[in-house]
Amino acid sequence: MSISLMGLLALGHCAAFADRNLPAVAAPLLKSSLGLTDTQLGILDGPAFVLLYALGMLASWPLARSPHRLRLIAGCIAVWAAGMVIFALGSSFGVLVAGRALIGLGQAAFVPLALGLIVDGSGPQRRGRAIAVFTAGAVMGRGLALLAGGAALAMLARWAPSMAHAHWRLLFLLMTVPNLILMVWLVWGRAPVQASAAPSPRAFGELLAAFRQRPGTLCAYLLASAASVLVVQSIGAWAPSVLHREHALSPAAAALTFGVALLVASPMGHLLAGLLVDKRRQHITPMSIVAVALLLVMPVLWRIPDAPSATKACALLALASLLGGTAAVAALAGLPSMLGTPARDIGLRLFLTFTTLVGVAVGPYMAGVVSDGLGVGGAGLSIALYKVCSLAAAAGVATALLASPGWRGSAAELAQ
């Protein structure tokens, strides 16, 4: 795969995650402008986004080997850009949910199409690093959402203070513009990619055969992977609000501060995971990496509620995101080695659907529910984040250790 195409796909992933994570930037303004509870904010971050996610993930499968995948990716961007506009113009919670669902639909089809190009164009010895570059685009996008969103809110507060109630709407409209540029680049700036074999009608059968052979391994692998995603997504969704509520930073300052930390920490975690998977010793599996990373994240999460300053809280949140990201990318990079070529694409789609439904929908939402349940007006948000993420990390460590021997056996059989 050419470096330019890899960079373009990573840029698209960056844009996707920038748009996906904007509600975290705007959460304080959404809460004050529309009177939303933490539970409702959690729904917008998680369940609303995945409402149509499985539909988009599976509906795009017949197009997985099309020579026009780049144009299809441009169409995906158009769908989630429309969702951004609907969200920006929404005046009720229901309309906001509809906008987020449309964003999720477009992004659900984008990710597997892009990953399919990467897997097809990368050899087994470089696949982990190639996937890590792509996923690093995601964390860059999350950081970009915080930085660009925080900077935009700061400028709007200075230039249009009388429109404070509409600042979050203008933010979403402004962040739609880069999507339009990327769409043009994909449609007119690139030649069609080479078509590969159409998805095999036997792919489901081969995937079921692999599941019947090692059901415990695959279930444990999925649960450990989902736990890793849950930790990352929960921190990304609520970190700016923690800094705003518990350390008295303005919404713009909270987004900017965490955005800078995330841009430094998270790509390091993703690239570290890719390097560890590609260069690991034979007795070390991707699930071993997942278990160690999630084990290390728990004491970091425990320290966040007692952080004496915004600086220390931000550093701990960024470190937790780094460790969770290392676990999530190691799990993703290890999956192709467990599946034969015919089952790899549909297996990847089902894997992404499950981990997104569990990790993205459950984590931010449950943190919001726990925060509301504490009855301290949101001041205990970091405690809620610690409880939800630590429980998920502990479950992830246990299931990763259970999946590790089975992964080794599956990979050895396919290698032969």
Position 409 scores a pLDDT of 83
Please report which confidence band the pLDDT of residue 87 belongs to, taking 50, 70 and 90 as the band edges: very high
CA–CA separation, 408 and 404 (whole Å): 6
Tens digit of each residue's pLDDT (9 = 90 or more) over 108-134: 888 888 877 777 776 666 766 777 778
Burial of 83 (0-12, 13-18, 19+ CB in 10 A): buried
Tens digit of each residue's pLDDT (9 = 90 or more) over 301-341: 999 999 999 999 999 999 999 999 999 989 988 888 787 66
Cα separation values, 63 from 12, 67, 316, Å: 18, 9, 42
Please report which confidence band the pLDDT of residue 287 belongs to, taking 50, 70 and 90 as the band edges: very high
pLDDT-wise least confident of 27-36, 143-152, 329-338, 341-350: 341-350
Tens digit of each residue's pLDDT (9 = 90 or more) over 225-268: 999 999 999 999 999 999 999 999 998 899 999 999 988 887 78
Q: What is the full DSSP assignment across 267-282?
A: HHHHHHHHHHHHH--T
Q: State percent of the chain over pLDDT 90.
A: 43
* DSSP assignment letter at 52: T
Position 2 scores a pLDDT of 63
What ranges in 335-380 are assigned the alpha helix state H?
341-374
229 vs 210, which has greater pLDDT? Answer: 229
Please report which confidence band the pLDDT of residue 380 belongs to, taking 50, 70 and 90 as the band edges: confident
**Average pLDDT of the chain, as a whole number:** 85
pTM of the model: 0.81
Provide the 3-class DSSP secondary structure of residue 391.
Answer: helix
202 vs 174, which has greater pLDDT? Answer: 174
Please report which confidence band the pLDDT of residue 194 belongs to, taking 50, 70 and 90 as the band edges: low
Position 184 scores a pLDDT of 86
Q: How far is C-alpha 28 from the geometric centre of its chain's CA atoms?
A: 21
Position 265 scores a pLDDT of 87
Tens digit of each residue's pLDDT (9 = 90 or more) over 35-48: 999 999 999 988 99
CA dihedral 297, 301, 302, 308 (to 10 degrees): 130
What is the token pair recorded at 74? Answer: 């441009």
Tens digit of each residue's pLDDT (9 = 90 or more) over 46-86: 899 988 877 887 777 777 677 778 888 899 999 999 999 99
For the residues 133-150, what does the mean pLDDT come to? 82
For the residues 275-301, what does the mean pLDDT come to? 87
CA–CA separation, 141 and 217 (whole Å): 32
What is the token pair recorded at 254? Answer: 């909270």
